[in-house]
Amino acid sequence: MPPAGAVGGERDISPGLPIWVWPVLALLVGFGLTFWLARDQQRQHEAERRAALEAVAGTGYAALVGRLDAYHFLARSVQTLFLTSQDVTDDEFANLYENLRPRQRLPGLQALAYADAETTPEGLRLVTRMVAPLAGNERVLGLEVNDQPSNMAAVLSSRDSDQPTLSAPFRLVQVTEPAARVDGLTLRLPVYGAGPPPRTLADRRARFEGSLAVSFRASRLVESALSDQVREAMHVEVADVTGGGARVLYDSHPRPHASVRPELDIVRDLHYGGRVWRVSMHPDTHSGVGLSWSQSVLWPGLLTSVLLALLVGSVATTRNRALELGERMSRRYRESEERFRALNDLLPALVLLARAEDGRIAYANQASRQRLGDRVVALDLSDLFDDLDLRAQLREGGPISCASAEAMLRTADDQHFWASVSIAQVELAGQQMLLMVATDISQQRELTELLSYQASHDALTELYNRREFERRLERVRAMVSAGGPAAALLYIDLDQFKLINDTSGHVAGDQLLTQLAILMRDQLRDGDVLARLGGDEFGVLATSVQDLHGAQLIAERLRQQIDGHVLIWEGRSYMISASIGGVMLDHPDMTLKDLLAHADTACYIAKESGRNRVHFYSAQDDETARRHGEMEWANRLRWAISERRLLLKYQELFPLGGRPDDGTCIELLLRFRDEDGRLVAPGAFIPAAERYGLMPMIDRWVVTTALANFDRLHPSGAALKLVTINLSGASIEDDSLTDLILQLLRQHRIDPQRVCFEITETVAVRNLMQVTRFIERLHAVGCRVALDDFGAGMSSFGYLKSLPVDVIKIDGSFIRDLLSDPMSHSIVRAVTEIGHQRNMLVIAEWVTSDEIVEALVEIGVDYAQGFGLHRPQLVPFHADAVLP
């Protein structure tokens, strides 16, 4: 006999209730939930429909505003032409229109026009003088704007506000169809006389010279702005409601229209140029607003309710099966846990589990036991760490603030090692546990510390290197600026160190540097910094000195110790001395660059004063050192040509962006060969040559030498395509130089098109008329002229209209920062576009990497030049010559 409460031999799920009650209850609950979900789905669908319509309407509204902004930008672009030129011709106006090509972007554009303003006894009179394009707009020329009240009102409003102003709708004179909608509009901008932007109403009216107009049909503007998606989904109507009235400008469906759902209508007012347009958008009558039967959850819900009732009815008969299944799953879980423990034992990482309440370690994998000892399971998790804060957190049992960090761990035998540690709180079998995973990173830490040491220390002397020394100097300078104690910077340069290298070799020199490093380190106080700055130069940062006298004592003690040192090397004895320049760090406004420059100047003066002495910088030292150096260079340059000390190098220019490589182009660079055979860059002697009037002599030598040996300036010989030669401002102002150039071209039978002369932007700006005459004479025979260092001056773009140059060379400071400075990138792009509009070649200087080359190709630069592409080489006829 079956137990009480069972039906058909099966037990009830709940005592006292028959099994059939539960399916019925489930069916009723399912039906109720289904009807509630269906109503909620309908509400959500309507909300989504509203959001979708608003998104479409927003897209159309934004497109309409964007199209008006485009008309405004077109007018501003043309206004710029009138502001920068006092007399714009019809051809310039038409050419500007052709260059802008506005109808490609603004298909609704009717015309671009300019009207002159004239004050007559009857009042202000405006007559249209220029219009583009002329085809189709012939009737606009000579049109008096006063005859169109709406148009004239927009002129006066824009004149008084200096802002773009839209006119009221009126019939454009170009529109001849009598049935056409009256929807003509103009967007007006004023043109003022020369000077700064007018600030007051009186100033604007006094300086008003004319008015620019962009005319268009409102219906075409709206039609071109709206996408197909907007027109298909919405009925769009645009009306001018300025002043309370309403004049329809555009209607996408010009027929009687009744809103399907008024609550879905979207109406926005567009305020632009002093007018108010009402943009009304209604959902299309064919767009559905309700859910179809196939989209509703009603019938799936009803079906699900029936299935749920059947499922609940079957639960009673499957309860025993569920219990058996639970038992099998429990066994599998235990087996999975055993496999997990076995896998953890094979991991190389340290894995530990500890109880959260007391931190006692309950489990450690094999790697943990081998690294930390077998007794690790008997320890607290906090006992493994040296970090006191982390140990306190683990013992308190609170949340772990540093769940992932690098920490020092210690083993059972009190050995220490660095590890990357991650700690997380987990729950296992209802108990809160701490899971720790650690990886030994001792070797990585040692390698990092070694690399850090090598990056901040000199490999030979083990002193700080220049970069670390400058970093510490900057830190001390900031402390002094904040009110800290004064300090002193010493710059030490060994005297006659080159003699030891030349006679006994670099090994002897290295030995001396090592000995002196130890010697100087022993003479310094705690807190002082000693560094090798390079070669035979050392730097000392003496901190906490009382005054100049205290700094001088430290410097003099170092000088005496160096002066008394003797190097014994392979039976020879060498005495050494040092010139020391110093500067006090006692002013808060001194920069790091100033400190290093002053210390170098002081050391230079110490050497010039006889070597083996100490000199501290004073305010008069800069001018003294500079004038002394320039005078010395002037004397050397006077006999440089006769002694054959001047040399020429060449650097190649490389075409970019698929430009055909139809011949080699080079720039000639000047060098000076000193008494030791070293080549000196022009930056060292050109300032002296300019100061003492020697640049014309040097330029004439360069021009004469280059043209006399033209086919020997490059290995390609007579196939050389182009040679550029730099000229100074003093030479360009000498008319006889041009005569010399023309004479040499004829004498050596050189094609002038293969010669290009470079002048800097600053020279061109300084004497524009003289430079223009110089360029025109060279152009007359076929020579080219390049504008070098373009962009360094503040008025670069303005002078391009006046200078008939053929090539622009962008200043290298912009190329150097091209990848890191957005402003430099924008300037390079602007220079390139303007140069190409003027039919000029654009060359980038100071190119140092392939990444910069790729960026220049993307911008459209024509040629690149720099050490990253080709390092300068001696011209062949100098490389082969025997020089003293």
Residues ≥6 apart with Cβ < 8 Å to 598: 583, 617, 621, 622
Higher pLDDT residue, 538 or 602?
538
DSSP state of 170: B
- CB count, 10 Å around CB of 839? 7
User: Hey, what are 555's tokens?
Assistant: 């410097």
DSSP string, 632-688: HHHHHHHTTTTTT-EEEEEEEEEE-TT----S-EEEEEEEEE-TTSPEEPGGGTHHH
Strand duo 577-585 + 614-616: pairing: parallel
What is the model's pLDDT at position 341? 63
- pLDDT of 852-866, one tens digit each? 999 999 999 999 999
How far apart CA 326 and CA 709 sit, in angstroms, is: 99
DSSP-derived secondary structure for 19-84: TTHHHHHHHHHHHHHHHHHHHHHHHHHHHHHHHHHHHHHHHHHHHHHHHHHHHHHHHHHHHHHHHH
Mean pLDDT, rounded, for 613-630: 70
pLDDT for position 14: 44
Mean of the pLDDT values across residues 751-763? Answer: 87
| Contact between residue 488 and residue 583 where contact means Cβ atoms under 8 Å apart | yes
Per DSSP, 717 falls in state G
The C-alpha atoms of residue 50 and residue 675 are separated, in whole angstroms, by: 86
Count of all residues that appear for the chain in the document: 884
pLDDT on residue 107: 82
pLDDT digits (tens, 9 = 90+) for 88-105: 888 888 888 888 888 888
Band of residue 4 on the pLDDT scale cut at 50, 70, 90: very low
Cis peptide bond prior to 687, omega within 30° of 0: no
Distance CA 825, CA 815 (A): 8
CA angle 788, 789, 792 (to 5 degrees): 145
Q: Can you give the pLDDT at residue 297?
A: 64
pLDDT level of residue 361 (50, 70, 90 thresholds): confident
Mean pLDDT of the chain: 81
The lowest-confidence range among 56-60, 171-175, 628-632 is 628-632
Inter-residue contact 265 to 259 (CB < 8 Å): yes
Residue of higher predicted confidence among 856 and 254: 856
Highest-pLDDT range among 304-313, 736-745, 786-795: 736-745
pLDDT recorded at residue 10: 43
- Inter-residue contact 88 to 80 (CB < 8 Å): no
What torsion do the CA atoms of 320, 322, 327, 332 make, to the nearest 10 degrees? 150
Q: What is the CA angle 501-503-505, rounded to 5?
A: 45
Which of these ranges, 371-375, 718-722, 802-806, has the smallest mean pLDDT? 371-375
- The contacts of residue 524 (CB under 8 Å, 6+ apart) are 530, 540, 542, 554
Amino acid at 865: Q
Q: Which residue has the tokens 């590890």?
A: 419
Q: Using one digit for the tens of pLDDT, what is the confidence trace for 528-542?
A: 999 998 888 999 999
Q: Token pair for residue 553?
A: 């004592």
**pLDDT score for 276:** 92
755-to-221, 737, 813 alpha-carbon distances in Å: 53, 15, 26
Structure tokens at 82: 């009138």
pLDDT, residue 482, reads 85
HEC secondary structure over 313-325: HHHHHHHHHHHHH
Q: How far is CA 778 from the centre of its chain?
A: 40
Interatomic CA distance for residues 202 and 220, integer angstroms: 37
Span of 99-108, 721-730, 838-847 with lowest mean pLDDT:
99-108
Name the most confidently modeled range: 279-288, 454-463, 697-706, 761-770: 697-706
Among residues of the chain, what percentage have pLDDT more than 70?
84
Instruction: Express each pLDDT in 127-168 by its tens digit.
Output: 999 999 988 888 889 889 888 898 899 899 999 998 999 998
Amino acid (one-letter) located at 268: R
pLDDT of residue 2: 36
Structure tokens at 305: 């309710």
Residue 525 confidence (pLDDT): 87
Task: Return the pLDDT at 604.
Answer: 79
DSSP secondary structure code for residue 502 in this structure: H
User: What pLDDT was estimated at residue 538?
Assistant: 94
In the chain, helix, strand, coil percent, each to 5?
45, 25, 30
pLDDT over threshold 80, residue 285: no
Please check whether residue 718 is in contact with residue 667, taking contact to mean a CB–CB distance below 8 angstroms: no
Does the pLDDT of residue 553 top 80, yes or no?
A: yes
Looking at residue 578, what is its pLDDT? 92
- pLDDT, one tens digit per residue, over 641-699 is 777 888 999 999 999 987 787 889 999 999 888 877 788 888 777 777 777 778 888 89
pLDDT-derived band at 83 (thresholds 50, 70, 90) equals confident
Task: Dump pLDDT digits (tens) for 185-200.
Answer: 999 999 988 888 888 9
Worst-scoring range by mean pLDDT, 224-233, 604-613, 667-676? 224-233
A 10 A CB-CB count for 708 gives 13
Token reading at 433: 């546990």
Instruction: Tokens for 464, please give them.
Output: 């700080």
Radius of gyration of the chain (CA): 43
Q: How far lies 204's CA from each of 161, 338, 442, in Å? A: 8, 89, 76
Query: Which range among 27-41, 342-356, 566-580 shows the weakest confidence by mean pLDDT?
Result: 342-356
**Token pair of 369 as six digits:** 């036991």
State residue 412's pLDDT score.
Answer: 64
Instruction: Tell me the C-alpha distance between 652 and 863, whole Å.
Output: 10
Cα(341)–Cα(314) distance, rounded to whole angstroms?
39
Percent over 90 (pLDDT), the chain: 24
Residue 11 — very low, low, confident or very high, per pLDDT cuts 50/70/90?
very low
CA triple 562-565-567, angle to 5 deg: 125
Nearest to 655 by CA among 868, 853, 809: 853
Q: Which domains does the chain have, with CATH numbers?
A: 65-229 (3.30.450.350), 337-445 (3.30.450.20), 462-618 (3.30.70.270), 637-879 (3.20.20.450)
Would the pLDDT of 327 be above 80?
no
Assign 493 to helix, strand or coil: strand
Segment 30-39 mean pLDDT: 76
pTM here?
Answer: 0.36
CA-CA distance, 246 to 770, in Å (whole number)? 64
173-192 mean pLDDT: 83
H helices within 717-839, ranges in order?
729-732, 735-747, 761-766, 768-781, 796-799, 812-816, 822-837
